[in-house]
Amino acid sequence: MKFCGDAKVCNLIMNSTSSAPVRIGVISFAHGHVNAYVDVIAGFDDAVVLAAWDDDEVRGRAACEKFGLQFEASLDALLARADIDAVIIASPTNRHAEHCIAAAHAGKAIVLQKPMALSLTDCDAIAAAVHGSGVPFTMAYQMRVDPVNLKMRELLQERAIGNVFLVKRRHAIPMLLNKEWARPGNWHIDPVQNMGMFMDDASHAADFLLWLMGKPASVMAEIDNIVTDVAPDDNGVALLRFAGGAMGLLVNSSTMLAAEATTEIYGDAGTIVHYFGDSPASSLPRPAGAAALKIFRAGAKDWEVFDLPADTPHGNRIRGLARPLVDFLHGRRGPIADAAEGRACIEIILAAYRSAREGRRIAIE
């Protein structure tokens, strides 16, 4: 069964049958995750990355040499290639709309690195271009394909812990403590290109909560520089209220060195706890027999532990997205997150920033 839409949409990918490889181009190596995708795809029989363009020619040529790709001197030249079916866009966030629109007009399927854009106007422009041209489109959110996260979603859909009233999710990295990474000139810490670390990285946790619980009705947040001053913000907490009354607690930090429990979900018939699901939690040694996921059900005498890997390095989650992305490009599965979901995530992040500035609850339409 095809998930990419009608025949017109499916045919936009020349090799949408599983017998021939889908042919991919890269638009920018600015976001490092794309290096992992290209590296993994090199081992696939049903996909091949052929060429790339990058406005930073030095960075682009170096990546092309590393991966054996052809470097194109202009975006137009890359998009004009008849042997490119799809593109992975990993440019700085403020250029996502520009590059998505160009790719859509060229009839290329699109994989877009998170977050979708820095404004709802740009999100709407991306969605309009994608829908107008009919090209397949997906956001690249690795948390939606992680086996432990998928199990948590399955448990909630089964109402395994009854009525959920609180979900706590953390997504943290210690990157602002890394002087080499937090150097002047890194686009990730530029407010023009990326707004702030909460925009860049809390979007993972916001998307997770959206995926698990649906779109929240309101947000209250505190976002600030507490430890460093090299980026527009380094830590943030957002309290989400969902339409059914449940609450979500989003914790984001760019200065966190160590942690364990990544997700906690509380219901009136049980509790789910998830360990080692983000960078500071997965980068340290684990106790012998450590569990990635456990549940306590009402009436039970002890926790039930699931047979899921507890020793997954965070980088492996990123690499693990390559296969679902290629399956999407072949029409074997739906998008990881579609344009509407990408926009909804940005609504949450922008509402959190506004709440932090204005010191009040912000409604989300």
Yes or no: say if 111 and 135 are a contact pair by the CB < 8 Å rule.
no
Q: Are residues 209 and 72 in the same domain?
A: no
Q: Quick check: 81 and 103 in contact, CB under 8 A?
A: no
**pLDDT tens digits along 254-282:** 999 999 999 999 999 999 999 999 999 98
Percent of the chain with pLDDT over 70: 95
Tell me the whole-structure pTM to 2 decimals.
0.93
In a domain, 340, yes or no: no
| Residue 188 sits in the same domain as residue 264 | yes
Whole-number pLDDT of residue 339: 98
pLDDT category at 72 given cuts 50, 70, 90 is very high
Residue 115 and residue 216 in one domain: no
Whether residue 17 is predicted with pLDDT greater than 90 in this model: the reply is: no
Report the CATH number that the domain containing residue 134 is assigned in CATH: 3.40.50.720
Residue 330 neighbours by CB under 8 Å, 6+ apart: 13, 15, 16, 17, 18, 22, 46
Query: Is 342 among the domain residues?
Result: no
Quote the CA–CA distance of 207 and 178 in Å, as a whole number.
26
Same domain flag for 132 and 165: no
Structure confidence by residue, pLDDT tens digits, 322-337: 999 999 999 999 999 9
Parent domain of 283: 144-314+347-363
39 and 66 in a single domain? The answer is yes
Residue 292 lies in a domain: yes
On the question of pLDDT at 283 being above 90, the answer is no
pLDDT tens per residue across span 198-234: 999 999 999 999 999 999 999 999 999 999 999 999 9
Same domain, 156 and 42: no
The pLDDT assigned to 4 comes to 43
Q: How many domains does the chain have?
A: 2
Residues 198 and 240 in one domain: yes
Residues 189 and 325 in one domain: no
Whether residue 162 is found in the same domain as residue 209 = yes
List the CATH number of the domain containing 179.
3.30.360.10
Q: Are residues 260 and 115 in contact, defined by beta-carbon separation less than 8 angstroms?
A: no
Tracing tokens 């998830």 back to the chain, one arrives at 274
Q: How confident is the model at residue 18 (pLDDT cuts 50, 70, 90)?
A: low
Instruction: Determine how β-strand 47-53 pairs with β-strand 22-27.
Output: parallel
Q: Determine the pLDDT at residue 7.
A: 36
Structure confidence by residue, pLDDT tens digits, 73-86: 999 999 999 999 99
CB atoms within 10 A of CB 351: 23
